[in-house]
Amino acid sequence: MTAVGIDAVEIWTGKLKLDLPETFAPQKGDDPAKYTKGLGLRASSFPDAYEDIVTMASNAAYKLMERKGLEPDDIGRIDVATESAFDNSKPVSTYVAGCLEEVYDEDFHHANKGERKFACIAGTQSIDDAYNWIKAGRNRGRGALVIATDTALYARGDAGEATQGAGAVAMYITEDPSLVELSHAQGYGSADETDFLKPNQQFPSVDGKRSVQVYLSRMREALEDYESVAGDVELDGFEYAPFHTPFPGMVRKAALLAYRHVVRDTEHEDALADEIGRQPRPGEFEDDDAYQEAIREYMDALGDTEQYQDWYAEVIDPTLSISREVGNWYTGSVHIARMSALLEAAEEGTEMAGETLLVGSYGSGAQAEIHAETVADGWKDEIEACDIYDQIEDRYDISFSEYEQVHDRHNHEKRVELEPFTQPEGEFVFDGWGPMNERKYTFVE
């Protein structure tokens, strides 16, 4: 079977940084530890005045094409995943193609373009579409450009404000990929939920606490569905588990549940039994309340064991390093978790070729998807080309009042002028409005 997967990735972060413990927490009257320890976040990325979902997507895509020596003719699809679109008809991918056509001699007239929407899971769904298109042999030897781009803003004062972020991840999907090969097997957990939604509005209506529970339920459903086709997931069957990361504390909760599930009825559960007992089973209790109470106690004890903590430090924590510094990028979030883990592996000199990743995507509304990825031989060159930590370091650190101006500038209902904090160079920028209310872009040398 032909291997299909991600050949190359470029990440573009919004150029501004909001420091959560230092700048945001004092203004909200919060203990900074709520952010660093509770949510697990140090900072959020924000777009500068001349950035938006199109510029971030186009800049990530341009970087990718230049690095890989690609021309427009090499690209048969451009799919953009976003939940921050400003147009209900014209897809962001057409704006991106328009930007790229400013800098290439060829055009993208023979590339299929679209926009995928299902909250944060749409990036993974776009990769799926590309996979199916290539497997069906309809790609004429070309690859697919999949870009996840979002400006993840919440209304000011909403509890979600602490988890904002902005950035884009451009991915090139091909046969015989250099970075990771996707598994054929997938599992889904999907249900009609109203925990987080944007009914024709930019900022989400969100029931934050419930959204956490829905994430966990759908993720568990997806894992069970995945196992029904791929066989039981084993604890040592994967090196890293990159999951959708709205904030690292969310993944901390998901990881504990996943661990309990994966070790049940294995020698790992036996090894823990002396210390914390065996996992409670429903049949052992008089009613569901008693069972749930026993589960809570078991989970608390499990989280404190050395066995669990060592596993978490090796398999989960490395996936969270970028997220901690940038916040939630919605559609891009799980894709920066994958890169985060591989960057750490490269840094530590771990050989990853042939190793497995267990990837968990999620979108509110709600759907989770689990699949596996096999790391490809060319992974290290790809990862060494990734400069996201330099970009993170170079961001302009905004004050709280600057943050409020930036938030207003990116509020679709306002037209607020704002002097940029940074200087664009060799990149696409937002350049004002056209006669049909379209957004206009230009390339700045």
Q: Name residues whose C-beta falls within 8 Å of residue 87's C-beta, 6 or more positions apart in sequence.
A: none
Nearer to ligand HMG, 219 or 230 (CB): 219
| Cα 91 from Cα 81, distance rounded (Å) | 10
Interaction between residue 162 and ligand HMG (CB under 6 A): yes
Interaction residues for ligand HMG, span 68-127 (CB under 6 A)? 83, 119-120
Residue reference for tokens 């749409």: 122
Q: What is the CA radius of gyration of the chain?
A: 22
- Strand partners for 360: 243, 370
Residue reference for tokens 């569905």: 225
Secondary structure element (H or E) that encloses residue 95, with its range: helix 92-103
Interaction between residue 219 and ligand HMG (CB under 6 A): no
Interaction between residue 363 and ligand HMG (CB under 6 A): yes
CB 220 within 8 A of CB 261: yes
Residue reference for tokens 């989280």: 303
Nearer to ligand HMG, 34 or 261 (CB): 34
Catalytic residue, candidates 51, 120, 221, 382: 120
Interaction between residue 206 and ligand HMG (CB under 6 A): yes
| Cα 145 from Cα 369, distance rounded (Å) | 21
Interaction residues for ligand HMG, span 274-333 (CB under 6 A)? 328, 330
Interaction between residue 20 and ligand HMG (CB under 6 A): no
Nearer to ligand HMG, 168 or 345 (CB): 168
Work out the burial of residue 195: count CB atoms within 10 Å of its CB; fewer than 13 is exposed, 13-18 middle, 19 or more buried: buried
The least distance separating ligand HMG from the CB of residue 101, rounded to whole angstroms, comes to 30
Query: Up-side HSE of residue 107: CA atoms within 13 Å toward CB?
Result: 5
From the list 28-36, 58-66, 182-190, 224-232, the region that binds ligand HMG by CB under 6 A is 28-36
CB 176 within 8 A of CB 2: yes
Annotation marks residue 244 as catalytic: yes
Q: Pick the binder of ligand HMG from 21, 76, 143, 160 (CB under 6 A).
A: 160
Interaction between residue 229 and ligand HMG (CB under 6 A): no
- Residues forming contacts to ligand HMG in the complex (CB under 6 A) are 31, 33-34, 37-39, 83, 119-120, 159-160, 162-163, 196, 206, 208-209, 211-212, 215, 244, 246-247, 249-250, 328, 330, 362-364
Active-site residue set: 83, 120, 244
